[in-house]
Structure 1
Amino acid sequence: MCAVQIKKQAKKYDAIIVGSGAGGGMAAYTLANAGLKVCLIEAGPNYDPAVNSSQLKPAWESPRRGARTQFRPFGDFDGCFWGWNIDGEPYTNAENSNWEWFRARMVGGRTNHWGRISLRFGPKDFKRKDIDGLGDNWPISYDDVKPYYDKVDKLIGVFGTNEGLYNDPDGIFLPPPKPRLHELFIKKAAGNIGIPVIPSRLSILTKPINKDRGSCFYCSQCGRSCKVYADFSSSSCLVKPAIATGNVDLVVNAMAREVLMDRDGLAKGVSYVNKEDLQEYQVYGRTVILAASACESARLLLNSKSERYPNGLANSSGVVGKYLHDSTGADMGGIIPALFDRKRYNEDGVGGMHVYTPWWLDNKKLDFPRGYHIEYGGGLGMPLYGFSWGIEKLNGMFKVKGQQKEAGGYGASLKEDYRYFYGAHVGMAGRGESIAREDSYCEIDPNVVDKYGIPVLKFHTQWTDYEIKQAKHMKETFAEILHSMGALVTWGGDDGPHNNYGLHNPGVIIHEAGTVRMGDDPRKSVLNKYSQAHDVKNLFCVDGGQFVSQADKNITWTILALAMRASDYLISEMKKQNIA
């Protein structure tokens, strides 16, 4: 039998980065612009929205009329390759665990299709243990991160308004788009019952900020990834300009296997499998930066075993893989009879909500410890047959039917239905904070490998009463808002204790965090406050894995800020020769 030949790259880099999403893209951009030589390793193919996006394509250009597939779980035109299930790349769940793991395989990763909701964590979010005694405080404060939030705002662009909310900090904002008609209904209805609705904060350019990116032309298709780079994707806004410096070598279709170590216990490189020839390659550098996503980075560390690190690299604490958590999520929607047969006009706007509700209550007065924000949808989006059915008119009054009208029909009656109900639907989704717990974790499954021969992850996760009670509150709030606007609930109204009030399984909201968390105590954390491994000084992690907790906000803006902060620290340490 012939021995497998490992192909070793002769060139040595200043930094090897695994993953090209928000954290990896920002690290590559920052280091490359400081003159460092970077190797950026990505598990999927290259992707440039200007070339590869399906923006503005009509439904008939898809053989499935835009329907979802395993390869495109958010629809055939969506700007994301793969998702919860990837051919040949399984993962497993322990008994009673129901984690659903989303993985994007492409340059830019998940940033090519996300909602662009770009929220800063607030001062309270870094010190939650001081407030409710649960979880742990971060080793950093809002004041430590604020300068980097400011830099990210200026570099990438985010629209919004300064509201003066203490725990929803203001930023450096571009002008927000005006609320659409259904959002005006929401704002009025929610305001009548004391629920705030303010302009959303999305990383979409409502006016130009540089010569390389265009501004939004309101096609409402940000999920497809923008051909003029008006919305933020790591691929267009970070990776492409980083490569333009001449300091970045991009290696695509490269599945990282392990971090390589030298005799002194320092990281010296990364081993990866080339997906095209299925051969193993090794690339070497002064530092290694993990940004493959919280779970994937944990997997890489746990698979990087040696005599010095028998439990996995940088895992003397035993914490790698632990404290895994995701945002909570529950949803509800309905129709607004006042908008039946409404006037038609163009209000597409950006590819996302123009307004949202930040957390507005005091958890000390509630039966759950952490908050949530509300995201809103509706309006004159591209119609799909079957939307907003489920109602009937009886004696001049509209009421919800026992079941929704079946899809089908043709001719005049079908067109009449479309015209009458089109634009009357509205939906709302809560996205909240769960508690990071040591008993929620991922580990290496000793019995399963992927098609590249790399051991896969096994998950142990469950929601607690805290998250279930939060979902119950979400549902009650949604119903109250819908009632206030005179809407009829057509979906999400039947949830209850039998299904945890519609609470989505952990992982579904795709805000995974906490598996390689930072902290001051090396016995209880993997990284220090600069995202640097306690055990290995030339190893960093700049994705969601470093999070101690994730707040009631989407985590991308904080990933970007912390990745820039860690990169600045790394540059400083190299200049001081603390990292050779």
Structure 2
Amino acid sequence: MDVPQIKKAAKVYDVVIVGSGAGGGMAAYQLSKAGATVCLLEAGGYFDPADPKYINQLKWSYESPRRGAGTTRAFGDFDAAWGGWEIDGEPYSAVKGTEFHWFRSRMLGGRTNHWGRISLRMGPDDFKRRSLTGIGEDWPIGYEDLSPYYDKVDDLIGVFGSKEGLRDAPDGRFLPPPKPRLHELMIKKAGKSIGVPVIPSRLSILTKPIHDRGGCFYCAQCGRACQAYADFSSSSVLCIPAVKTGRVTLINGAMAREVITDPKTGLASGVSYVDVPTMTEQSVMGKVVVLAASTCETARLLLNSKSARFQNGLANSSGVVGKYLNDSTGASRGAFIPALMDRKRYNEDGVGGAHVYSPWWLDNKKLDFPRGYHIEYGGGMGMPMYGFGFGMEGRNSIVPGRDGKPREAGGYGESLKDDFRRFYGANIGMAGRGEPVPLESNYCEIDPNTVDKYGIPTLRFNYKWGEAEIKQAKHMQDTFEEIIHAMGGIALGKKPGPETNYGLEAPGKIIHEIGTARMGNDPKNSVLNKYSQAHDVKNLFVVDAAAFPSQGDKNVTWTILANSWRTSDYIIDQVKQKNI
């Protein structure tokens, strides 16, 4: 029987995890399997793509009140991303003269519900940039440290691809890749003629069923999240199975405010959060705290976690928290391919992404920029839309008429309908995704003048592209032109020039940000050690991309997953040894 005047002690979990994306989902999955009691905090709502009330696959655009327009979500009403670059009541800002766009998903699984599923390993050289080039920073670990975990991630989650023996794009444990479609065969032929490799993509989409998950049925709608669990999302593959162990308490609508620390020991003791439905302050206690809220959100948590012991923010004795922020570079180009006109119609959907891509193929020592990029391709007979095939920036394209003579495409009535039929499937697109040079001058910090609707101080960004990234974008555009020419194509729109930084996307637009709590051997210039453990707080860990000193030209999700698994193993080992 309870004694009324004695307050019951709050439950203390073995581990409290903030964020349910790739890093948080993997940590919850591995730690709960090891027997730990876990509290998983997610700022957004619950989501299961196999639950009928969440399924948006195979719906027509006209089933949306906005006919599929992206007025309420960044990528359309049916897209599996509850959030975007702008969220009502959650502002952020930028220092005058700088720019950064911060994408956030408020849902179980975070941004893994909508992404390209491009699942690339870092190469051996990606971990040793400073040693090899004198620019940037080395990681405190190497490819040999993560390789066994990449293998485990491949086996657990599934990724298709092909063995190519490339140092910059290490091979994995692959499922069979899908066959290239017609436009991809043409891209591959054109690439070979000019020395650009084009190989099967490496996507975490199941081309055959594994682990009670269904195989891809080629609807090409992975961005809506898969009801068959045939693609990787942290919600379906990691979080939901972790909750089913009975050792994970999932709290949705938990907007983390700060990490609580013990004033005597300085150790993390829990997390304070705002309960979104009630807008009340809550806290959850744990013996270990793991941050996986995403690169910038993790930095905000650390910087807002101030105390007498940590006056500049938690784990920030180095002053590095928030610094060395960087996002992938990105530039793109579209083209019209006359050889693909007047095609026979057939089901060409394929997986939700390109069946081929180009890994980096050149030696930067022979170029005027220090880091490489890869190329992602698009095209085929997907869902048509108005304007498809008729140029860019509102201009009509000059195309061959039925008599072979050039004329403007489009128009009205019968001419427009005829052109749509003829040009359907005759467009391609290509996008470069490159590695920037991490700079201390690119950072996020707490805005002293603004709080969000939860009363939590918000972030202010300072980010500018450097000459290295601008020259890289120029090289991308030159390469796109070569590929288009080799295909006998017509580039759409005016070629981007120096006035637009050669079409270089604004920082944050590629949604690959990393680096605000980087790992390193020296506590004076890094936040975490080689196990993603805070130098200043031994029971605090970071398992999202904030830990990464650099990103290579690779999409970082596969490395987040591998590193989180490695860190989880370390936590288990340290607990057994009673070190934490």
For residues 3-152 of structure 1, what are the structure 2 equivalents within 5 Å? 10-51=10-51, 52-69=54-71, 71-152=72-153
Indicate conservation of the 8 Å contact 2:400/2:407, yes or no: no
Q: Which runs of 5+ in 1 are unaligned?
A: 1-6
Give the whole-Å Cα distance in 1 for the aligned partners of 2:152 and 2:404. 54
- 1:4 matched residue in structure 2: none
1:473 aligns with 2:447: no
Change (3 A) 1:42 1:400: farther
Superposition deviation, residue 400 in structure 1: 8.5
RMSD: 1.5
Give the whole-Å Cα distance in 2 for the aligned partners of 1:96 and 1:558. 32
Indicate conservation of the 8 Å contact 2:70/2:76, yes or no: yes
- 2:3 matched residue in structure 1: none
Give the whole-Å Cα distance in 2 for the aligned partners of 1:442 and 1:398. 55
Change (3 A) 1:536 1:483: same
Superposition deviation, residue 87 in structure 1: 0.1
Instruction: Give secondary structure in 1 for the equivalent of 2:419.
Output: helix
Instruction: Give secondary structure in 1 for the equivalent of 2:528.
Output: coil
Q: After superposition, what is the alpha-carbon deviation per residue over 1:117-170, rounded to whole angstroms, capped at 9, x for unaligned?
A: 000000000001112111110000000000000000000000000000012100
For residues 221-260 of structure 1, what are the structure 2 equivalents within 5 Å? 221-260=221-260
Instruction: Give secondary structure in 1 for the equivalent of 2:374.
Output: strand
Indicate conservation of the 8 Å contact 2:377/2:430, yes or no: yes
Change (3 A) 1:414 1:532: same
TM-score, normalisation: structure 1: 0.96
Indicate conservation of the 8 Å contact 1:177/1:354, yes or no: yes
Matched AA of 1:556: T
- 2:397 matched residue in structure 1: 391
TM-score, normalisation: structure 2: 0.96
- 1:210 matched residue in structure 2: 211
Indicate conservation of the 8 Å contact 2:375/2:432, yes or no: yes
Indicate conservation of the 8 Å contact 1:16/1:269, yes or no: yes
Indicate conservation of the 8 Å contact 1:26/1:560, yes or no: yes
Matched AA of 1:13: Y
Instruction: Give secondary structure in 1 for the equivalent of 2:473.
Output: helix
Indicate conservation of the 8 Å contact 1:32/1:38, yes or no: yes
Matched AA of 1:370: R
- 2:393 matched residue in structure 1: none
Superposition deviation, residue 9 in structure 1: 8.2
For residues 340-489 of structure 1, what are the structure 2 equivalents within 5 Å? 340-389=341-390, 390-393=396-399, 405=410, 409=412, 412-489=414-491
Matched AA of 1:544: A
Give the whole-Å Cα distance in 1 for the aligned partners of 2:299 and 2:313. 9
Give the whole-Å Cα distance in 1 for the aligned partners of 2:8 and 2:455. 19
Give the whole-Å Cα distance in 2 for the aligned partners of 1:572 and 1:457. 35
- 2:4 matched residue in structure 1: none
Matched AA of 1:156: I
Give the whole-Å Cα distance in 2 for the aligned partners of 1:428 and 1:364. 25
Indicate conservation of the 8 Å contact 1:392/1:398, yes or no: no
Q: After superposition, what is the alpha-carbon deviation per residue over 1:493-533, rounded to whole angstroms, capped at 9, x for unaligned?
A: 43110010000011000000000000000000000000000
Superposition deviation, residue 77 in structure 1: 1.0
- 2:220 matched residue in structure 1: 220
Indicate conservation of the 8 Å contact 2:206/2:231, yes or no: yes
Q: After superposition, what is the alpha-carbon deviation per residue over 1:148-207, rounded to whole angstroms, capped at 9, x for unaligned?
A: 000000000000000000121000000000000110110001111111000000000000
Give the whole-Å Cα distance in 2 for the aligned partners of 1:398 and 1:29. 61
- 2:574 matched residue in structure 1: 573
Give the whole-Å Cα distance in 2 for the aligned partners of 1:304 and 1:384. 48
> How many pairs are equivalent?
565
- 2:296 matched residue in structure 1: 295
Superposition deviation, residue 391 in structure 1: 2.4
